Structure 1
Amino acid sequence: MSTAAELAARAVDCVPPGELERKLALGRPLRVKFGVDPTAPDIHLGHAVALGKLREFQDAGHLAVLIIGDWTARVGDPSGRTSTRPMLSGEQIEANAVSYREQAFRILDPDRTEIRANGEWFEGLALQEVFRLAGSATVNQLLRRNDFAQRMQADQPVSVLELLYPLMQAYDSVMVEADVELGGTDQLFNFMLAREIQAHYGMAPQVVMTMPILPGVDGVQKMSKSLANHIGVTDAPEEQFGRTMSIPDAALAEWYRLLVPDAPPPAGPPVADKRRLGALIADRFHGPGAGARAEEHFNRVVRDRGAPDEMPDVAIPPGTVHLPALLVDALGVASRSEARRLIAGGGVQIDGAPVRDLDLEADALDGRVIRAGKRRFARLRRDP
């Protein structure tokens, strides 16, 4: 069993002081909760920071309780938000939840993981129990949250639904009997409120542990898919390596500390440290050797401006091909508007020559190599 100090390594908060030691002294596996709302289909490296800490608890003999917030996602976590989140459909949430479950096991040990969807208890929650939960906290408490307070001061709306979110997250801790809850520093208010709600229900309050928030590849803002500054845990090794090479030098030490804590810290020059980090990340999520292959691909495709040895074949129908649609459907460009910007900036090439026409004839594309940005390649094949 690891000590409390070892389990709390790299954490920002581990509160109350001494409580983790007391929990460990119980001599049983602790139930360590981590909740995620499936508001997007992918887990990225920012999620991997807390999930990696959860894996450390598992390796020390404890049980990970992974909450898939299929009902809290309908409300939307207001943490750090300056406006109300749009509500997702049930179909979107369920599709994202399936993806989350699969991707989480790239980090977690499935044999020591209990997966729960909070729809298990919220879907059939009686109104009497809603009253009991609502009566366990005050509006004054909830409005002390920084994001709520700032929005109130700016005369921006805070919905009653949003006020319920911290209570719903706290109720998750009650239902799974959490001993410890893990998450980012932006969750501290929610986690501390959960301790009070657990006590209201006659339970021993959980230990609260928060982890630093990983900056995105821009090195400034929190890693987020909506900001397009993320690296997904299921991204191809070449994509993970190439995106890592683009992070600012100032972010290197934090990325090493949070993502590969067992590796030697960066020692310079920065480009060599980024190469080592990119290879370590690819190896972590795709197995030994993936990093070396990704680096070789980066050298050939980006540094030496060549085409990769292997690339997907993309079938195109006869007639006119709308290039922005092709880039979205076949090469993974985020949207047609992004594809148009890429084309206008010379970032789309066919057989090495920039192309700026939006509509092209399929016969002229048959057998040619298309490149979008630095790392997306495909060979075009016209359907008969």
Structure 2
Amino acid sequence: MATNAGKAEAEPISEEVLQRRALVLRNLQESLGVDKLTKQLATQGKVPHLYWGTATTGKPHVGYLVPMRKIADFLQAGLKVTILFADLHAFLDNMKSTWELLDNRVVYYQCVIKALLQSLDVPIDRLHFVKGTEYQLSRAFTDDVLRLCTQVSQRDALRAGAEVVKQVESPLLSGLLYPLLQALDEQYLKVDGQFGGVDQRKIFILAEEQLPKLKLGKRWHLMNPMVPGLTGTKMSSSEEDSKIDVLDDPEVVLSKIKGAVCSREEPDNGVLSFYNFVLFPIVSPNSIQIQNQEFFDFDSLKSAFLDGKLSEEELKSFLAEFLVSLLSKVRSRCDTDEVRNAKEKGYGKISDASASAGGETQTPALSQEQLAWKDLLITGNEVLPNQDQFDSIKELDSVLSTVSSSKPLQLTFVAHAKGKFHLGFVAPLLRVKELAAAGVPIHLTVLVSDIEAYLDNQKVAWDVIEKRAEYFKEMFLSVINHLKLNELVNVKIAAGLDGYFSSNYVLDFYKMASAVTRDETTICEGTALSGNLVSLFYSLNARLVNPQLLIVGNDSTHFADLSYKLLRSVGTAPVVHMAIPTVPGCDGKKMSCSSPDFLLDPLDTPKQTKTKIARSFCEPQNLNDNVAMMLAEQVAFPILDGAVLNISRSPDNGGDVAVSNYKELEHEFVTGTNPSFPLHPGDLKNAVVGVINGLFDKIRADFAEKPKAKLVTDAFAKSKKK
């Protein structure tokens, strides 16, 4: 008995489905995923849905007749069509545009496109209009943009937008994001496919390759050919002479057609292309007659022209009459107060609100007390220099002029919750402790920001970032408590701040991306585009706290450099940055989450802490690159808060030593009170270990409790999602 183990034979495609598919695919230059489209056309009750998008920048021109003619085919074939007005893209394309202006442009585009379709006798009941900002500023969409950025490299993003984004040596970051946003539009418009010009092909390929990795599905893509402009280049809203606006007067239409490029030496010119992709599809299956010659298709007309049977003037004359006749119907439908008002408000002159009002403001003179606070602030630290005409020293004076004992200086330190919490994160707390002890009225907000940890080469998995941020917060709170800084320092998680990932926050993110280049934002290691976003979120999140002074490690001054520019781009005054020395790891380099074997984790065992410090470089009587001496200066003495550092030594090594400050310790190590017995590296390290473990023991005790112990486990759990 025969078995049916093989694949069942495919159901035959009905003639009705074949006709609908032919209508969908005719006059396209390329189609991707036709099998999937065919299956959907053949599925009972299924109405395939596609979208076509356009940025609402310049006015619609006659080149729009090409996609409109195809949209007519889609609607006739029973498809649902959504037209996307990419107002966010338009805003980013021209940062001087206002939302009122763009809202009016959307109204203008919608009226004109409806009029175009109706003039082509196209029923538009299955046509829907959507603005990009209706969903592109949402948290869900933005999350998917960030997830996509971790998968796509700078190079792939640049290549995807090569045909639609202006190519320069160092492109704007927004230009690299453009293809990703367009790819995600497919998911958020809930469509089965996307239609666009063949210049969109690389973006379509990116969508087909990348969206399935996020389990967001794979769509089919349809591409119409690009119509050359009247001057021989691509027809574009930004090239005035290359296009005819849909609502141009007949005299303008006639004049532009008359001056168009149309020679036998260039048979792919805009005039012939318009016959091919617009005129014949509109009149088909009927013919056109020029000088008593009848043509049913483009090939016969082109041959007649190349053979000299049709002149350039005859071609232009017929095309001009055809366009004037068609566009008169469009103008008639657009002869309304709504369209006139939208055109006036959408394309009127944009006033430049960036002009400076008034002269330079005078910085108030500082009191003697405020001058003393300034000296304490900058001693051992670096107020980062002028960037983009921002005078940081002058601005620091302005900030300090408002500080008093009842109105403390507001500082913020942004901690990126990447790997293990380590001693390096304690440095800003110790600096605040020293300043407060010296009499500076001061308050510090530690901002734990988790999104950067994900964007930086996915050092934290997407579904773990919240737990990692909570772990960092609890670690900071434990340290703050045991350093007795509860009244001077508070801790916030960025995700809990008002306005975090609000529509305004997301819009400012895109504004920032339009103000900086790929090269400026290439900070993180690796090639993923997500790494370029880290500095943007640093500035956005710090701004939510609204500090007077931002603290960074002296290895992270690039964040300050970019922050000045980024904050200005969204209309926010730059914030003064102060760089403090970074705590060294036990390998002598910066203590870092990326070097776990050399960082000092408060949850390490006392023995592990001792072993790590014991391995560090500490040559007798040599201060250069001496890790133990740096830890003593930056960590041990601030923890001791004025108490002496007791160093145990055997009698043979000179006996015990007690020092009150780093200068005394330096003297003991280099020379020694008794020159015969300078401080031995082993004894120095043991003393430093004692102070550090003294703090760590208290933190270990806090995290020995079950809820916090579980928090640590959860923060470093393996991702459940790929």
Q: What TM-score, normalized by structure 2, do the two folds share?
A: 0.36
Distance 2:172 2:132 in 1: 21
* 1:177 match: secondary structure: coil
Does residue 286 (structure 1) correspond to residue 328 (structure 2)? The answer is yes
**Residue 49 (structure 2) aligns with:** 31
Residues 174 and 197 in structure 1, CA contact (< 8 A), matched pair in contact too: no
Give the deviation of 1:114 after TM superposition: 0.8
In the alignment, what sits opposite 2:28?
Answer: 11
Q: How far apart, CA to CA, are the structure 2 residues paired with 1:32 and 1:158? A: 30
Counterpart of 2:362 in structure 1 is none
Give the Cα–Cα distance (whole angstroms) in 1 for the partners of residues 116 and 37 of structure 2: 23
Q: How many residues align?
A: 279
Match of 1:131 in 2: 146
Take 2:314 and 2:175, find their aligned partners in 1: how far apart are those partners?
45
Distance 1:143 1:54 in 2: 29
8 Å CA contact retained: 1:72, 1:169: no
CA 163–247 in structure 1, closer or farther in 2 if over 3 Å, else same: same
1:169 Cα deviation (Å)?
Answer: 0.9
Q: How does 1:176-187 map to 2 (within 5 A)?
A: 176-187=189-200
Higher RCO (C-alpha 8 Å, min separation 6): 1
Equivalent residue number for residue 55 of structure 1: 72
Q: 1:112 to 1:283 in 2, by over 3 A?
A: farther
Is 1:115 the counterpart of 2:134? The answer is no
1:129 CA drift (Å): 4.3
**CA gap 1:23/1:284 in 2 versus in 1, 3 angstroms:** farther
Q: Deviations over 1:197-241 (max 9, x none)?
A: 4424534422111111111121x1111232212111122234323
What do residues 69-115 of structure 1 show as CA deviations (whole Å, max 9, x unaligned)? 11122334xxxxxxxx7664323322221211111112334312111
Return the index of the structure with the highest Cα Rg.
2
- In the alignment, is the contact (CA less than 8 A) between 2:161 and 2:178 conserved in 1? no
Match of 2:313 in 1: 271
Question: Is the Cα contact below 8 Å between 2:161 and 2:175 reproduced in 1?
Answer: no
Opposite residue 142 of structure 1, the aligned amino acid is A
Q: How does 1:1-384 map to 2 (within 5 A)?
A: 2-16=19-33, 18-27=35-44, 28-40=46-58, 42-76=59-93, 88-108=97-117, 109-125=123-139, 128-145=143-160, 147=162, 156-218=169-231, 220-228=232-240, 229-250=242-263, 251=269, 252-261=271-280, 262=284, 263=288, 264=295, 265=298, 266=301, 267=304, 268-287=310-329
Structure 1 segments (4+ residues) deviating >6 Å: none
Partner letter of residue 115 of structure 2? Answer: R
Q: Work out the CA distance in 2 between the residues paired with 1:269 and 1:200.
A: 55
Structure-2 residue corresponding to 1:353: none
Distance 1:248 1:151 in 2: 25
AA aligned to 1:73 is A
Helix, strand or coil: the match of 1:122? Answer: coil
The alpha-carbon deviation at position 31 of structure 1 amounts to 1.0
Distance in structure 2 (CA, Å) of the matches to 1:104 and 1:275: 26
SS of the counterpart of 1:225?
coil
Would you say the 8 A contact 2:56–2:109 is kept in 1? yes
Cα gap change, 1:70 to 1:225, in 2 (>3 Å): closer
> What is the distance in 2 between the residues matched to 1:145 and 1:286?
38
Give CA deviations for 1:288-346 in whole Å, capped at 9, x if unaligned: 9x9xxxxxxxxxxxxxxxxxxxxxxxxxxxxxxxxxxxxxx9xxxx9xxxxxxxxxxxx
Output the aligned Cα RMSD: 3.0
Q: Which has the higher strand share?
A: 1
Secondary structure in 2 matching 1:34: strand
User: Is the partner of 1:18 in helix, strand or coil?
Assistant: helix
Distance 1:87 1:191 in 2: 30
The superposition leaves residues 137-170 of structure 1 with CA deviations (integer Å, 9 ceiling, x where unpaired) of: 333421334739x988x7x222222211111111
Amino acid of the structure 2 residue aligned with 1:64: V
User: In the alignment, residue 35 of structure 2 is paired with which amino acid?
Assistant: G
Shift of 1:128: 4.0
Q: Distance in 2 between matches of 1:146 and 1:176?
A: 21
| Separation of aligned partners in 1, 2:57 and 2:329 | 28
Q: Is the 8 A contact 1:35 1:69 kept in 2?
A: yes
User: In 1, distance between residues paired with 2:68 and 2:226?
Assistant: 12
SS of the aligned residue for 1:105 comes to helix
Q: 1:112 to 1:249 in 2, by over 3 A?
A: same
Letter in 2 for 1:193: L
Q: Which residue type is aligned with residue 223 of structure 1?
A: M
Change (3 A) 1:161 1:124: same
* Residue 294 (structure 1) aligns with: none
Amino acid corresponding to residue 47 of structure 2 in structure 1: P
Counterpart contact for 1:64–1:113, Cα < 8 Å? yes
Q: Which residue of 1 aligns with 2:626?
A: none
Q: Deviations over 1:332-379 (max 9, x none)?
A: xx9xxxxxxxxxxxxxxxxxxxxxxxxxxxxxxxxxxxxxxxxxxxxx
Distance in structure 2 (CA, Å) of the matches to 1:226 and 1:7: 30
Distance across 2 between alignment mates of 1:121 and 1:5: 33
Give the SS at the match of 1:3: helix
Question: Which amino acid letter does the alignment assign opposite residue 285 of structure 1?
Answer: L
Matched to 2:209, the amino acid is E
- The answer to whether the Cα contact below 8 Å between 1:174 and 1:201 also exists between their aligned partners in 2 is no
Query: Aligned partners of 2:166, 2:257: CA distance in 1, in Å?
Result: 35
Moved more, 267-276 or 100-109: 267-276
Q: Which amino acid aligns with 1:227?
A: E
Query: Displacement, 1:192?
Result: 2.0
Change (3 A) 1:146 1:172: closer
Match of 1:373 in 2: none
Letter in 1 for 2:276: R
Specify the alignment match of 2:455 in structure 1. none
Deviation at 1:275, TM superposition (A): 1.7
**Structure 2 gap segments, 5+ residues each:** 1-15, 118-122, 264-268, 289-294, 305-309, 333-343, 350-722
Contact 2:21 2:38 in 1 (8 A): yes
Which residue in 2 is equivalent to 1:79?
Answer: none
SS state at 2:238 partner: helix
Deviation at 1:118, TM superposition (A): 1.3
Shift of 1:38: 0.6
**CA distance, structure 2, for counterparts of residue 60 and residue 243 of structure 1:** 35
Alpha-carbon spacing, 1:74–1:269, altered in 2? closer, same or farther (3 Å): same
Segments of 5+ residues of structure 1 without an aligned counterpart are: 77-84, 291-328, 335-384
Per-residue CA deviations over 1:249-275 (Å, capped at 9, x if unaligned) read 243321101111235343413322222
Residues 240, 164 of structure 1: CA spacing in aligned structure 2 closer, same or farther, 3 A cutoff? Answer: same
SS in 2 for 1:174: helix
